[in-house]
Amino acid sequence: MAKEYSNGNQNSPAARTPPPPSPLRFSKFFQSNMRILITGGAGFIGSHLVDKLMENEKNEVIVADNYFTGSKDNLKKWIGHPRFELVRHDVTEPLLIEVDQIYHLACPASPIFYKYNPVKTTKTNVIGTLNMLGLAKRVGARILLTSTSEVYGDPLVHPQDESYWGNVNPIGVRSCYDEGKRVAETLMFDYHRQHGIEIRIARIFNTYGPRMNIDDGRVVSNFIAQAIRGLVYFYSTYAILSSIELFSYAIHLCSGESLTVQAPGTQTRSFCYVSDMVYGLIRLMEGDNTGPINIGNPGEFTMLELAETVKELINPEVEIAMVENTPDDPRQRKPVITKANELLGWEPKVKLRDGLPLMEEDFRLRLGVARKK
């Protein structure tokens, strides 16, 4: 008698049994426990996150980046590693891969770069985040968005905790970034509520450290590069033309390598060292809370105080110059980190005075300027 069910019958129990796993499942080839996508992983924070995640041998890391502000150089130690893949990809286009977690960082972070092509910045934040949420939905991945303190705009509440809704100009030159990130947060929560996607949102405050672009334009990288370049110009000229040192000093003053404090200089920021940031992001991804959660260092400094600190630590000779500011510059920023502390067991460890010299070393190497004995 013919078998009642055959494999060809789509309604048979046999046909409904899932197929056995690939015979390569237990082969000698590497099988990771966790495949992690990092968009924007060739950038400053992203590349440090790659370093940390690659330390775990059970992780396989894929970076997707269009290299607008990032660089393969930041990842050179991983290129060719069997657990690492680097893909040139713009997140405004869909990406079809299979991953377990997505750290979605892709977006220029420095004001001069995000203002360079504001329409593209909005597209990156909105379409890019939609695409990554679509990917998370298709494969059931958990997704973390690196949002920003800029969602608080020019805050009327100080310090800022996560319940504050912000004071953002919707039509200003910074809006592509600020409003772009606010929409990205909205999309994250709507995908969470509507489709059950597992989301995590970090609100990052000004972060600094090695590998920032030397011409990034943000305040810490500007001041460190200016202090080092100021030194090289002064000392090299001094060494060669010691008899006319006054002349060389005059040239040094005219060389533009003063610390450019944008007026009024009393505006404040809180600076987080990059290793603290990366640890916070991983704690958030691995914990149970959706966020948004502030991740930043609550130490608060005026830009004049920052300039004085850089001057003292790196180049006591360098001048401080007051220059014109840009529109909509927030007057104050300081995170409340109670949520990060209580929910993630996280707090920053590196003080500004300890982090600046670590960054100085990296900038000296890249600028080819040794510390003067």
Ligand X SMILES: O=c1ccn([C@@H]2O[C@H](COP(=O)(O)OP(=O)(O)O[C@H]3OC[C@@H](O)[C@H](O)[C@H]3O)[C@@H](O)[C@H]2O)c(=O)[nH]1
Residues that bind ligand NAD (CB under 6 A): 39-40, 42-46, 65-70, 90-92, 105-109, 124, 128, 146, 148, 204, 206-207
Which residue is listed with tokens 């672009």?
Answer: 213
Q: What share of the chain is helix, strand, coil (3-state, %, to 5)?
A: 40, 15, 40
Closest approach, Cβ 215 to ligand NAD, in A, equals 12
Comparing C-alpha atoms, which of 296, 326, 299, 328 is closest to residue 155?
328
182 phi and psi angles, rounded to 5 deg: -65, -40
Which of residues 4 and 324 has its CB atom nearest to ligand X in the complex?
324
Report how far residue 308's alpha carbon sits from residue 372's, in angstroms, rounded to the nearest whole number: 20
Among 125, 131, 206, 294, binds ligand X (CB under 6 A): 206
The site string for ligand X over 327-356 (x = CB under 6 A, - otherwise) reads --x---------------------------
Closest approach, Cβ 108 to ligand NAD, in A, equals 5
Which residue is listed with tokens 């997707």?
Answer: 64
Which of residues 66 and 248 has its CB atom nearest to ligand NAD in the complex?
66
Which of residues 64 and 219 has its CB atom nearest to ligand X in the complex?
219
Report how far residue 182's alpha carbon sits from residue 204's, in angstroms, rounded to the nearest whole number: 13
Select the binding partner of residue 40 from ligand NAD, ligand X, none (C-beta < 5 to 8 A, by kind).
ligand NAD
What is the DSSP code string of 179-217?
HHHHHHHHHHHHHHHHH---EEEEEE--EE-TT--TT--
Select the binding partner of residue 224 from ligand NAD, ligand X, none (C-beta < 5 to 8 A, by kind).
none
Task: Report if residue 219 touches ligand X, rule: CB under 6 A.
Answer: yes
> Which among 29-37, 144-152, 289-297, 348-356 is the span making contact with ligand X, rule CB under 6 A?
144-152
Which of residues 175 and 222 has its CB atom nearest to ligand X in the complex?
222
CB distance 195 to 333 below 8 Å: no
Among 12, 56, 260, 290, binds ligand X (CB under 6 A): 260
Closest approach, Cβ 181 to ligand X, in A, equals 7
Count Cβ atoms below 10 Å from residue 363 Cβ, excluding itself: 20
Task: Report if residue 224 touches ligand X, rule: CB under 6 A.
Answer: no
Which of residues 5 and 67 has its CB atom nearest to ligand NAD in the complex?
67
Task: Report if residue 121 touches ligand X, rule: CB under 6 A.
Answer: no
Closest approach, Cβ 202 to ligand X, in A, equals 11
Select the binding partner of residue 202 from ligand X, ligand NAD, none (C-beta < 5 to 8 A, by kind).
none
Report how far residue 231's alpha carbon sits from residue 373's, in angstroms, rounded to the nearest whole number: 12
Which of residues 91 and 197 has its CB atom nearest to ligand NAD in the complex?
91
Task: Report if residue 150 touches ligand X, rule: CB under 6 A.
Answer: yes
Report how far residue 252's alpha carbon sits from residue 311's, in angstroms, rounded to the nearest whole number: 15
Which of residues 74 and 148 has its CB atom nearest to ligand X in the complex?
148
Report how far residue 95's alpha carbon sits from residue 4's, in angstroms, rounded to the nearest whole number: 44
Residue 66 burial by Cβ neighbours in a 10 Å radius (0-12, 13-18, 19+): buried
Task: Report if residue 109 touches ligand X, rule: CB under 6 A.
Answer: yes
Residue 118, SS3 per DSSP:
helix
Report how far residue 243's alpha carbon sits from residue 220's, in angstroms, rounded to the nearest whole number: 34
Task: Report if residue 302 touches ligand X, rule: CB under 6 A.
Answer: no
Select the binding partner of residue 175 from ligand X, ligand NAD, none (C-beta < 5 to 8 A, by kind).
none
For this structure, is 279 an active site residue? no
CB distance 95 to 72 below 8 Å: no
Q: Annotated catalytic residue: which of 177, 233, 273, 279?
A: 177
Select the binding partner of residue 344 from ligand X, ligand NAD, none (C-beta < 5 to 8 A, by kind).
none
Closest approach, Cβ 146 to ligand X, in A, equals 9
Which DSSP letter does residue 370 get?
Answer: P
Residue 117 burial by Cβ neighbours in a 10 Å radius (0-12, 13-18, 19+): middle
Residues that bind ligand X (CB under 6 A): 109, 111, 148-150, 206, 218-219, 222, 260-262, 267, 269, 303, 325, 329
Which of the residues are catalytic?
A: 177
